[in-house]
């Protein structure tokens, strides 16, 4: 039997998560308490510690909800927390040893109030049979039900008390008045030139020692561990791109910021790291690796990338992209002949690839929050097995949460997606070997 209801815990969790905006916890995530991770309850534990100055672990709270006995001290901590939030007692005046040593203190407080209200509202419902003497009355209280519900009064008071605790906890979200201090991160880029690599400056403040443990800044899938409460970290961005910087404190993700580093027109790369000079990949409006001598091992598979990053001022959920592309087998690829197309949105990307039909297992498509490689949507990817030995005209449109991929006026894919793309800040074409791309237009305007 759970000593505190899931509804009560959910209400407290909602308030705790509300003070962590970067968590972006959706209501449906709290539907099944059993599926929440210990790290989720760590958020609640931190919030309780800040509110009443009493430490409790997220692991203890999770165990409590999975049926721990009423002797578990965690219930006392939660009850003390509810009393403080309800205004019944001030955090500074809370004698934890006195008040929280026995959870009957909390149950009694709410039970007495509940009983008084119940007597006023239902005076005629709580009828008790008269007794002839004190001994019989005492026996009836101990051994027999004494009301219409069939409960011993003591148990009834306990149940009513717990129900009131649930009601109080549901009002916590709107009654919070205390100022909370949580870790902060600020990001800046001082170099406005076109030169790369470029330095990104991250200043952070953990605010409290309790957040120092397991704190880090994550950049390009590489963690930078933090050892001081306050400081500045320098990160190196090798090329123009939309970078994500994540801030973790005590294993909790407190913030995530995006940094757009723009390019001076289209850029060419071998892979996505080795820059090419303009003369090696552009000729008469066509982007293509003309100078194969710069490839270290041309006999092996390699990739070429052409991309551009800037704020186009175009909504990624309502746009049309057009381009002419091809990737003949004799251009450096021994198999698959991949062509990957990316529309980088400030919120989420659009990415998909074409490849040879015998390599369809490696097809991929992500649009917003929808991964088409998951579940039944995977069947859609079978349509992406297409070769490009000659020029083909590609059109990509997004409108009303539907993406369409069209080749030479033939619809290949038209599917619904979830999530938001945001403003378009980048376009990218990646070829296995050295493919060709030209006439790139976004909403009818040439992209240079």
**Span 80-114, pLDDT tens digits:** 565 555 554 454 444 444 444 444 444 444 444 44
pLDDT tens figures, 10-60: 666 666 666 555 444 444 455 555 566 676 677 777 777 776 666 667 776
Question: Do residues 46 and 210 touch, judged by C-beta distance below 8 A?
Answer: yes
pLDDT of residue 446: 94
How far apart CA 188 and CA 194 sit, in angstroms, is 16
Segment holding 8, helix H or strand E:
helix 6-18
More confident of the two residues 164 and 440:
440
Per-residue confidence at 71, pLDDT binned at 50, 70, 90?
A: very low
The residue with tokens 């306050």 is 230
How far apart CA 255 and CA 360 sit, in angstroms, is 37
- Please give the DSSP secondary-structure letter assigned to residue 196: S
Q: Which of 392, 407, 385 is nearest to 437 (CA)?
A: 392
Q: For 69-189, list the strands marked E by DSSP.
A: 184-188
Q: Which two tokens stand for residue 387?
A: 């070769």
Question: Do residues 110 and 161 touch, judged by C-beta distance below 8 A?
Answer: yes
pLDDT of residue 339: 94
Per-residue confidence at 336, pLDDT binned at 50, 70, 90?
A: confident
pLDDT of residue 173: 44
Q: Which of 252, 263, 255, 272 is nearest to 308 (CA)?
A: 263
The domain segmentation of the chain, as residue ranges, is: 6-175, 184-261, 267-446
pTM metric for this prediction: 0.61
156-160, 304-308, 423-427: least confident range: 156-160
Q: Which CATH class is domain 184-261?
A: mainly beta
Above 50 in pLDDT, residue 383? yes
Tell me: cis bond preceding 197? Omega within 30 of 0 counts. Answer: yes
Q: Does domain 267-446 fall into CATH 1.10.1070.11? A: no
pLDDT of residue 163: 73
Above 60 in pLDDT, residue 400? yes
CA distances to 28, 68, 142, 167, 215 from 34, in Å? 13, 14, 37, 21, 26
Per-residue confidence at 253, pLDDT binned at 50, 70, 90?
A: confident
Number of H helices, E strands in the chain: 10, 23
Given this chain, do its domains 184-261 and 267-446 carry the same CATH topology?
A: no
pLDDT of residue 185: 95
Q: Which two tokens stand for residue 298?
A: 């041309």
pLDDT of residue 109: 47
pLDDT of residue 132: 41
In 3-state terms, what secondary structure has residue 416?
A: strand
pLDDT tens figures, 156-200: 666 777 777 766 665 554 444 344 578 999 999 989 898 999 999
Phi, psi of 171 (to 5 degrees): -95, 0
Q: Which of 97, 49, 47 is nearest to 73 (CA)?
A: 97
């Amino acid at each position: 039997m759970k000593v505190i209801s899931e509804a009560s815990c959910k209400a407290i969790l909602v308030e705790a998560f509300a003070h962590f905006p970067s968590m972006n916890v959706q209501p449906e995530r709290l539907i099944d308490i059993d599926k929440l991770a210990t790290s989720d309850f760590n958020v609640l534990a931190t919030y309780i510690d800040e509110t009443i100055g009493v430490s409790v672990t997220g692991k203890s709270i999770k165990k409590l909800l999975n049926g721990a006995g009423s002797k578990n001290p965690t219930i006392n901590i939660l009850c003390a927390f509810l009393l403080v939030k309800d205004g019944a007692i001030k955090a500074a005046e809370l004698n934890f040893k006195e008040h929280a040593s026995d959870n009957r203190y909390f149950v009694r407080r709410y039970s007495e109030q509940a009983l008084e209200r119940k007597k006023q509202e239902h005076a005629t419902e709580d009828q008790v049979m008269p007794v002839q003497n004190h001994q019989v009355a005492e026996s009836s209280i101990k051994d027999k039900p004494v009301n219409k519900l069939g409960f011993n009064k003591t148990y009834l008071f306990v149940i009513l008390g717990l129900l009131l605790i649930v009601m109080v906890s549901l009002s916590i979200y709107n009654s919070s008045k205390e100022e909370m201090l949580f870790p902060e991160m600020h990001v800046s880029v001082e170099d406005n030139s076109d030169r790369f690599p470029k330095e990104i400056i991250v200043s952070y403040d953990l605010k409290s020692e309790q957040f120092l443990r397991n704190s880090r800044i994550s950049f390009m899938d590489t963690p930078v561990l933090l050892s001081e409460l306050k400081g500045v970290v320098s990160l190196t961005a090798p090329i123009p791109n939309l970078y994500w910087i994540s801030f973790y404190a005590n294993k909790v993700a407190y913030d995530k910021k995006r940094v757009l580093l723009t390019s001076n027109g289209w850029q060419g790369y071998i892979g996505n790291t080795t820059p090419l000079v303009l003369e090696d990949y552009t000729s008469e409006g066509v982007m293509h690796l003309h100078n194969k001598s710069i490839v270290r091992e041309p006999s092996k598979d390699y990739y070429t990338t052409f991309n551009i990053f800037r704020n186009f001022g175009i909504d990624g959920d309502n746009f049309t992209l057009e381009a002419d592309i091809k990737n003949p087998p004799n251009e450096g690829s021994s198999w698959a002949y991949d062509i990957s197309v990316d529309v980088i949105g400030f919120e989420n990307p659009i990415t998909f690839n074409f490849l040879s039909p015998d390599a369809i297992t490696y097809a991929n498509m992500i649009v917003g929050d929808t991964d088409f490689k998951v579940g039944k949507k995977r069947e859609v990817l079978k349509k992406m097995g297409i070769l490009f030995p000659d020029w083909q005209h590609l059109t990509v449109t997004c409108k009303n949460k539907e993406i369409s991929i069209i080749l030479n006026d033939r619809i290949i894919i038209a599917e619904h997606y979830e999530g938001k793309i945001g403003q378009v800040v980048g376009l990218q074409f990646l070829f296995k070997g050295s493919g060709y791309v030209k006439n790139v237009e976004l909403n009818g305007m040439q992209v240079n």
